[in-house]
């Protein structure tokens, strides 16, 4: 029993001594290009999602046979580059004008992802998988 007490006392002395040692931390400057793409990707994704939430866009999607919920889910599953391109198309469209071009782009993206087997939005496509 005394060996066990001696072992515990030695262990406590060692751990108490180690906790009093100063810990070092290193900090550095984070470049803007490391932080900016993340916030830009979130902004692009929100822009596309808000575009898809408009009533005229929802009606046009339903006219083409696409559920607005499926389109919104697909936007969330897109890569940052794809969302950036789609947001660029929305920004380039004239105000209140070329909604059809953007909807066509969304339709093509959904069609390609259906064919690749990543989504199942259209009943007339067959997956390559």
User: Cα separation of 14 and 99, whole Å?
Assistant: 70
- Residues 45/5, Cβ–Cβ less than 8 Å: no
DSSP 22: P
pLDDT of 96 higher than 70: no
Domain boundaries, the chain: 36-129
Give percent of the chain with pLDDT exceeding 90.
6
Q: What confidence category does residue 4 fall into, taking pLDDT thresholds of 50, 70 and 90? A: very high
- According to the model, what pLDDT value does residue 106 have? 80
Instruction: Give, in order, the Cα–Cα distances in Å from 41 to each of 70, 91, 92.
Output: 20, 15, 18
């Amino acid at each position: 029993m005394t060996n066990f007490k001696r072992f515990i006392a030695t262990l406590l002395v060692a751990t108490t001594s180690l906790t009093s040692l100063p810990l070092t931390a290193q900090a550095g400057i984070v470049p803007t290009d490391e932080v900016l793409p993340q916030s830009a990707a979130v902004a692009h994704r929100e822009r596309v999602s808000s575009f898809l939430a408009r009533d005229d866009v929802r009606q046009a999607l339903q006219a083409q046979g696409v559920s607005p919920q499926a389109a919104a889910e697909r936007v969330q599953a897109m890569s940052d580059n794809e969302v950036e391109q789609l947001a660029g198309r929305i920004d380039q469209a004239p105000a209140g004008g070329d909604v059809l071009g953007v909807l066509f782009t969304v339709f093509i993206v959904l069609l390609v992802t259906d064919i690749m087997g990543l989504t199942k939005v259209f009943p007339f496509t067959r997956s390559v998988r």
